[in-house]
A and B are shown apart, each in its own frame.
Chain A
Amino acid sequence: MRIPPKHTQRAAVLVMGLATLFTLAILVFIILFVLEKGLPVVSLKFLFTNPQDMGKSGGILPTLVGTILLTLVAVAIATPLGVGTAIYLTEYTRESRITRIIRFGADCLAGIPSIIFGLFGFIFFVTILKMGWSIMSGGLTLAFMILPTIIRTAEEAIKAVPNSYREVSFSLGATRWETVQKVVLPSALPGIVTGIMLGVGRSIGETAAVIFTAGSSLRMPASLMDSARTMSVHFYILAREGISTENAYGTAAILVITILFINLTAYSLMNRFVAKNN
């Protein structure tokens, strides 16, 4: 006996709909759970006081500072490299073996697990270059990690700039670099910023690559060559060593809110950018 196609369709749609609902429910649950448990702990005092007793009580100020500094170092290094690569790929060369190698490199780099970045950063920056466990070592490691994201988004954004803008600029006597500076980059800026924001989000949330390169000192860092503990690392240590579940939830809530906010801004920027270009 053959089941009528209408019925199989109804069954299939039901199953797929439930799968979708289930997926969304889990993801939303995770966020709500963290916020529900964590938000009661969060206060200005929590954000801006020093931790006491390894983080058992007190706030998270040094980890906040550590996270910001580490992210700034990472972005400051990865942005020129990533945007420069994107400009080269789109404006200065045609598809060739070289561009394929460059893209292949970026794709592979994107797939490397963060623990490998951590190992590399530890042996290269911390040990061989003698930077020790420091914000600098961690920032450089993260820069490598977010580089592919920035390249990819910047390339997409630059490609989306209408070719007629370039022709007009050239026809008015601009050189290639003048065209890039005055026409291409300003038009692609929102897309480029999106990539940078996504990189910032990844830097803030990263743990494995940071813990072996920036260390986990809870003291307030005085320079970029000091060790620092980021919020993610702090959260990991609080949770894993059972120091304080309450403060762990609080830190997690701040992490999640920050990252969601950053990613949300990034996506809405991208959307407006895409809408404008169409």
Chain B
Amino acid sequence: MSSEPKISVSELKAYYGREQILMSVSMEIPPRMILGIIGPAGSGKTTFLRCLNRLNDLVPGFRTEGRIQLDGQDIYHPGFEAVGLRKRVGMLFALPVPLPKSIYENVVYGPRLSGIGDRNRLDQLVEASLKSAFIWDEVKDRLHSPAMRLSGGQQQRLCLARILAMEPEVILLDEPCSGLDPISTAKIEEALTILKERYTIILVTNNTKQAARVADQTAFFLMGSLIEHGPTQELFTVPRDSRTGDYITGRFG
């Protein structure tokens, strides 16, 4: 890891009202690879993820301390616009949420917001994004039918395509396969391993095996703290912290 970190987090604390969710997390995330984040429910991994695109700003009573830098810029700096940040940092949610529009309109939602109006350009974007998300062949004949009609697994891949169409730099995934069948999960994982050549991907997952399969680096969260962060291979075979080992082998959580 010789290159500059894509994201660097230092002493990040997060609170919902009085309750502290994150206890001073520091971490450097290198570009163009997959970081897996694992940990039991309530360990703060989703909160951490939602800090990276400032989606938590919308939650009443939420606040953070510490610093998150994207390419060296502080994203919580008052002069840094959250809207611009979210165009650079896409997010895939646990449950697929297609907007109540057509497949096509879902994909071009982000590009349209960025002011792309040219029909040909949009058409190209739609095709490229859907192909990258491994769903093009299934929907190419019905781009203008409602996205709601797709199956759950197709919907989640559509949501991935919708993010790719924004041409972001970072993709955040919040347990994206928790509601999907094994085949859809495999397709998403396959897409991710190809996408990591172009994007920085951060994957929060409840499924430790998924992290072991696709992540280059893995971080383990427990009760709001980052316990361990390192190459996946190492973390899974020779964990430095005994709690990591306990979690991976299923002795608690």
- Whether A and B touch directly in their complex, counting CB atoms under 8 A apart, is answered as yes
Interface residues of A (CB under 8 A from B): 94, 162, 164-175, 178, 182-183, 186-187
A173 to chain B, nearest CB (A): 3
A95 shortest CB reach to chain B, Å:
9
What is the size, in residues, of chain B's interface with A at 8 Å between Cβ atoms?
23
Q: Is the CB of A170 within 8 A of B90?
A: no
A170 and B86 contacting across the interface, CB-CB below 8 Å: yes
Contact of B86 among A162, A172, A182 (CB under 8 A): A172
Q: Does B238 make an interface contact (CB < 8 A)?
A: no
| Residue B58 at the chain A interface, CB threshold 8 Å | yes
Contact status B58-A173, CB under 8 Å: no
B97 touches A172 (CB 8 A): no
Q: What B residues does A167 contact at CB under 8 A?
A: 55, 58, 93, 97
Which chain B residues border A162 with CB–CB below 8 Å?
Answer: 97
User: What residues of B have a CB within 8 angstroms of the CB of A173 in the complex?
Assistant: 83-84, 86-87, 110, 113-114, 166
Is B109 a contact of A182 with CB atoms below 8 Å? yes
Interface pair B109/A165, CB less than 8 Å apart:
no
- Which residues of chain B have a CB within 8 Å of any CB of chain A? 53, 55, 58, 60, 83-84, 86-87, 90-91, 93, 95, 97, 99-100, 109-110, 113-114, 159, 162-163, 166
Assembled-state Cα–Cα distance A69/B250 (Å): 72
Q: Considering residues B84, B86, B95, which has the most beta carbons from chain A within 10 angstroms of its beta carbon? A: B86
A247 to chain B, nearest CB (A): 48
Which B residues lie within 8 Å of A166 (CB)? 58
The CA of A182 and the CA of B99, in the complex, are separated in Å by 10
**Nearest A-chain residue to B89, judged by Cβ:** A171
Across the two chains, which residue of chain B brings its CB closest to A175?
A: B83
CB pair A164 B93 closer than 8 Å = yes
B99 cross-chain contacts in A, Cβ below 8 A: 165, 168-169, 183
Assess whether A164 is in contact with B97, with CB atoms less than 8 Å apart: yes
21 contacts between A and B (CB under 8 A): A162-B97, A165-B100, A166-B58, A167-B58, A167-B93, A168-B93, A168-B97, A169-B99, A169-B109, A170-B55, A171-B55, A171-B86, A171-B91, A173-B84, A173-B86, A173-B87, A173-B113, A174-B109, A178-B113, A182-B109, A187-B100
Which residue among B113, B114, B166 has the maximum number of chain A CB atoms within 10 Å of its CB?
A: B113
